[in-house]
Amino acid sequence: MRVSRLFFPSLRENPKEAETVSHVFMLRAGLVRKLASGIYTLLPIGYRVVKKIENIIREEMDAKGGQELFMPALQPAELWLESGRWYDYGPELMRLEDRKERTFALGPTHEEVITTLVRDNNRSYRKLPLLLYQIQVKFRDEIRPRFGVMRAREFIMKDLYSFDRDEEGMNRSYDAMYDAYCRIFKRCGLDYRVVEADSGAIGGDVSHEFMVLADTGEAEIAFCDSCGYASNLEKATDQLDPPEDAQEMDIQEVYTPNIKTIEELANFLAIDKSRTVKAVVYEAIYSGEKWNIVAAFVRGDYDINEIKLKNLLGCLYLNPATEEEVLSITPGGGGFIGPIGLKDAVVVVDESVMRMKNVVVGANKENYHLKNVNPQKDFPDDMKVADIRKVHDGSKCPKCGFPMKVRRGIEVGHIFKLGTKYSEAMNATFLDENGEKKYYVMGCYGIGVERTMAAVIEQLHDDKGIIWPMTIAPYHVIVVSVVVKDEQQRETAERIYSELINRGVEVLIDDRDESPGVKFNDADIMGIPLRVTVGKYLKEGKVELRWRRSGEVKLYSVNEIVDAVELAIKKEIDEINS
């Protein structure tokens, strides 16, 4: 491809709308253009990268026995009502009506469609396991689309669904996909971690996320460098200290005027935050019109993990309580809430608090707290005790006790053990060898294709632009003649370009009448791994070969350069794929 003909609307300055490195360079390098909030057009350079990622995915899915199909994005509401997710999925589900007032959803995922397909078209155990996948556009009505393609309302996803006869078979399919995902992200040149995760609206008891470490990631992960434990912060837990063995003291009411935060309380009483108990009040919304007020308590040096709390309660939504709702359960109001004496509230206490003695809690009385409270003896009998805390940097690893790190990351893949959640809800059965009906045991496995592209940019870039791995680079090499009007340079560049095309190399030639600086800058921002420069050394019969990643430059004779480029491409691809 000639750069003079390439649809490549590059930008010289960082766009104001871009919040992350990947968003900046995807706009500046002409990979995407925004059509509306969270909706992007993939331009030729960006689409070439996407297709290469898709091809890697296809190769690894097919190698594990996956079969590709293509399902409709427009899904009848009846399927979602049958599975029970029409109301549970929430406002992210895009809903619409046709001219006959029949209701549909624009698919954010395809569990209902694939379960119906297999239910209606397979009856025998002999076909199992079935591994069916597609690469298709999904839709989610994100409340706040951001970070370019990383949180978009329309995006490309690979989703595979496994159907097995029993849990043992599902586990084998799950392990196969786990291995395939590791290969996919390695082949894309990513440094990633596999973390335990919450299953969310998809369902199931076990899931793992594939997270790319990046400062701009929206998710947080906790991991241990000692034993390898890793988990999404939504699900991560830690090792608690042993129960305290101290003399229990008598409760004292303490005047704490205008002290409403844990930090202020600890400073006022000259104690560590870990000697206090933090309270947060929520409104829990269930199906139908059911709701209640929940008062959650955690050790003062922790925060509440709202995902854990929501899962514990089994509610659909968990909203911060209003001031009026807080006053309905305690006359003390916000800042002075404690578990003793609350009325008309579900009390949930983190297990860390129950190991403590002589702690400080709110007195449910304005401007007062209680000292020397002993949770095992003084807290209400009908409270719920569970792990509802959010781990933090330095928390002890639950497996080995080593201090963990908490870092931000980008989720690029998520795999789930669904079990019989959908097959039971939608009556999807097969006949086993004894002629008995059994529910399919399912798994589902997703990869965000554009997210993967953005994650690569987040990890592999410098101040000049993108640094693509050879495996997914839009082109492997760009040939640049420094002075196009120099006939010898132009003819040599054209000859090298033609020979590379004949060898099957993916190559650009910058044939524009632009300054060398403009050409080099464009090559760098696009992230082309290799650059052949035809310039001042041509008088000696040589040209330059420059590696984008390292900046290394070597001179080769004109007759050697094509072989050198081929070898460099093969070497890097082999290293990544090994």
Q: Domain containing 443 — which CATH number? A: 3.30.930.10
Q: What is the DSSP letter of 495?
A: H
pLDDT for position 201: 59
**156: domain range?**
21-185+421-458
**CA–CA gap between residue 154 and residue 137 (Å, rounded):** 7
Residues 40 and 127 in one domain: yes
- Residue 516 CB neighbour total at 10 angstroms: 14
Sign of the four-CA dihedral 92, 96, 102, 107: negative
Both tokens assigned to 53:
């990622």
**CA–CA gap between residue 93 and residue 80 (Å, rounded):** 10
Per-residue confidence in pLDDT tens, the chain, 578 aa = 999 999 999 998 888 888 899 999 999 999 999 999 999 999 999 999 999 999 999 999 999 999 999 999 999 999 999 999 998 888 899 999 999 999 999 999 999 999 999 999 999 999 999 999 999 999 999 888 888 998 899 999 999 999 999 999 999 999 999 999 999 999 999 999 998 887 665 656 788 999 998 887 878 899 999 998 999 888 899 999 899 999 999 999 999 998 989 999 999 999 999 999 999 999 999 876 788 999 999 999 999 999 999 999 999 889 999 999 999 999 988 889 999 989 889 999 999 999 999 999 999 999 999 999 999 999 999 999 999 999 999 999 999 999 999 999 999 999 999 999 999 999 999 999 999 999 999 999 999 999 999 999 999 999 999 999 999 999 999 999 999 899 999 999 999 999 999 999 999 999 999 999 999 999 999 999 999 999 999 999 999 999 999 999 999 999 999 999 999 999 999 999 88
Residues 448 and 498 in one domain: no
**CA–CA gap between residue 179 and residue 197 (Å, rounded):** 17
- Residue 436 CB neighbour total at 10 angstroms: 10
Contact 312, 350 (CB under 8 A): no
Both tokens assigned to 544:
């330059």
Residues 336 and 368 in one domain: yes
Residues 432 and 505 in one domain: no
Residue 352: inside a domain, yes or no? yes
pLDDT for position 204: 63
Both tokens assigned to 98:
């046709």
Residues 276 and 309 in one domain: yes
Residues 49 and 110 in one domain: yes
Residue 464: inside a domain, yes or no? no
Residue 149: inside a domain, yes or no? yes
Using alpha carbons only, how large is the chain's radius of gyration in Å?
29
Neighbouring residues of 179: CB distance < 8 A, sequence distance ≥ 6: 64
Neighbouring residues of 142: CB distance < 8 A, sequence distance ≥ 6: 38, 92, 151, 152, 153
Q: Domain containing 553 — which CATH number? A: 3.40.50.800
Residue 69: inside a domain, yes or no? yes
Residues 139 and 271 in one domain: no
pLDDT for position 558: 96
Residues 449 and 533 in one domain: no
Residue 349: inside a domain, yes or no? yes
Closest CA to 83 of 107, 105, 116: 116
Residues 363 and 490 in one domain: no
- Residue 172 CB neighbour total at 10 angstroms: 14
Residue 14: inside a domain, yes or no? no
- Give the residue carrying structure tokens 């919040």: 19
Residues 287 and 428 in one domain: no
Residue 191: inside a domain, yes or no? no
**pLDDT by residue (tens digit) across 240-258?**
989 999 999 999 999 999 8
**CA–CA gap between residue 325 and residue 248 (Å, rounded):** 34
Neighbouring residues of 479: CB distance < 8 A, sequence distance ≥ 6: 493, 496, 497, 500, 507, 508, 509, 510, 531, 532, 534
pLDDT for position 51: 98
Residue 2: inside a domain, yes or no? no
Spacing of C-alpha 266 from chain mean position:
36
Closest CA to 546 of 516, 574, 575, 576: 516
Residues 103 and 177 in one domain: yes
In degrees to the nearest 10, what's the CA dihedral of 115, 116, 118, 123? 120
**CA–CA gap between residue 473 and residue 450 (Å, rounded):** 14
pLDDT for position 205: 72
Contact 129, 163 (CB under 8 A): yes
- Residue 504 CB neighbour total at 10 angstroms: 8
pLDDT for position 304: 96
Element (DSSP H or E) covering residue 371? strand 368-373
Closest CA to 176 of 59, 63, 57: 63
Instruction: Using the 3D structure, point to which of 369, 390, 411 is the last residue of a domain.
Output: 390
Residues 93 and 146 in one domain: yes
Count of structural domains, the chain = 3
**CA–CA gap between residue 401 and residue 534 (Å, rounded):** 58
**CA–CA gap between residue 85 and residue 69 (Å, rounded):** 24
pLDDT for position 316: 86
